[in-house]
Structure 1
Amino acid sequence: MCSLANRLDMFIRSNNDTVFIEAEGKYDKLVNFIRSYNSQYGCNVNMETDGIMLLGDVDKWGVELRLYLNHRPDFLPVTSNRAYRSEYPYRINDNNLIREMFDIGYRIGVN
């Protein structure tokens, strides 16, 4: 049995899809996320990287990860997307799943 991240990867590949991953949060939470992300995945992401969304004075508990895609998988919850990154009609809001996607090779930004 393959993981949900592997299933999603197979779905993305089978649709020849382009997906976009972003991280959204307040400054202090993003600094910690970026430091850990760069260290773990050998990347050079910073606050100016497309896909890093700095929030102002909002009540957020931590960094939220989002994966935007063009095709709707039927095996996991997907949100219709019109407001953010409107070029992608669907969005997945699942930090654990997106972290697993990082582990199999996906990165912040366009994939």
Structure 2
Amino acid sequence: MFAKLLSIASLAILAAATPTPGGGGSGSGDCSTGPIQCCDTVEKASDPAAADILASIGVVVQDVDALVGLTCSPVTVVGVGSSGSCDANAVCCEDNSHGGLISIGCVPVTL
């Protein structure tokens, strides 16, 4: 029963992190969970660099295959000069609450 609940919760999290078409239509660069993030790297939570950071801040990610972004900053304006570009990895993440160090539950997006 717990496994079914965890599976359903995981699917809900992925659905919540899915970017809205066109950034929500407003051009603001928002996904359904907040601003699109530009991350230096995107890795699985089980990869050593991500796992070390997660452990150091005491975050446990249930899905070791979940994508996490490392060293992230929000992309605030899409399509306007260089401030709306991302030369690294543009992602929409479920949890951006770790000060840009790491964002959890990411889905790649195209700017």
Fold agreement, TM-score > 0.5: no
TM-score (norm 1): 0.30
Of Structure 1 and Structure 2, the greater strand share is in: 2
Q: Which has the higher contact order (CA 8 A, sep 6+)?
A: 1
